[in-house]
Amino acid sequence: MSLTLPLDEPEEPLSYNLNVCSPSFSAATPARFTAISRAKSFRSRYFPHITIDEWNDWRWQLRNRITTTEQLEKIINLTDSERQALQRSSSTLPFAITPYYASLVSPNNPHDPVRRAVVPVVNELVVSNGEAHDPLGEDSHTPVPGLVHRYPDRVLFLLTDYCSTYCRYCTRSRMVGRNQDTTSCKERWEKAFAYIEKTTEIRDVLLSGGDPLTLPDETLEYILKRLRSIKHVELIRIGTKTPAVLPQRITSQLTRMLRRYHPVWISIHAMHPAEQTREMKKACERLADAGIPLGSQTVLLAGINDDVPTMKKLMQGLVRMRVKPYYLYQCDPIIGSAHFRTSVTKGLEIYQGLRGHTTGYAVPTYVIDAPGGGGKIPLLPETFLGRDGSDILLKNYEGNTYRYPDAL
List the binding residues for [4Fe-4S] cluster. Answer: 163, 167, 170
Residue 315: enclosing H or E segment and its boundaries? helix 308-320
Rounded Cα distance, 196 and 17, in Å: 23
Q: Are 158 and 145 in contact (CB under 8 A)?
A: no
Q: Name the active-site residue from 21, 163, 284, 331.
A: 163
The question of whether 151 is a catalytic residue gets the answer yes
Q: Name the active-site residue from 282, 332, 341, 366.
A: 332
The question of whether 406 is a catalytic residue gets the answer no
The question of whether 134 is a catalytic residue gets the answer no
Rounded Cα distance, 158 and 174, in Å: 13
Q: Name the active-site residue from 57, 100, 115, 167.
A: 167
Say how many residues make up the chain. 408
- Residue 160: DSSP 8-state: -
Number of DSSP helices (H) and strands (E) in the chain, helices first: 14, 12
The CA angle 354-358-364, to the nearest 5 degrees, is 50
Beta strands 384-388; 391-395: pairing state: antiparallel
**Which amino acid appears at position 15 of this protein?**
S
The question of whether 331 is a catalytic residue gets the answer no
- Helices 344-354 and 308-320 cross at an angle (nearest 10°) of 50
The question of whether 172 is a catalytic residue gets the answer yes
The question of whether 167 is a catalytic residue gets the answer yes
Q: Name the active-site residue from 46, 151, 195, 261.
A: 151
Q: Name the active-site residue from 59, 115, 150, 188.
A: 150
- CA nearest neighbour of 58 among 211, 217, 251: 251
List of long-range contacts for 137-142, beta carbons under 8 Å, 24+ apart: 137/371, 137/372, 137/373, 138/172, 138/373, 140/373, 141/373
The question of whether 369 is a catalytic residue gets the answer yes
Q: Are 24 and 216 in contact (CB under 8 A)?
A: yes
Q: Which parts are annotated binding residues?
A: 163, 167, 170
3-state SS assignment for residue 276:
coil
Catalytic residue set:
150-151, 154, 163, 167, 170, 172, 332, 369, 376
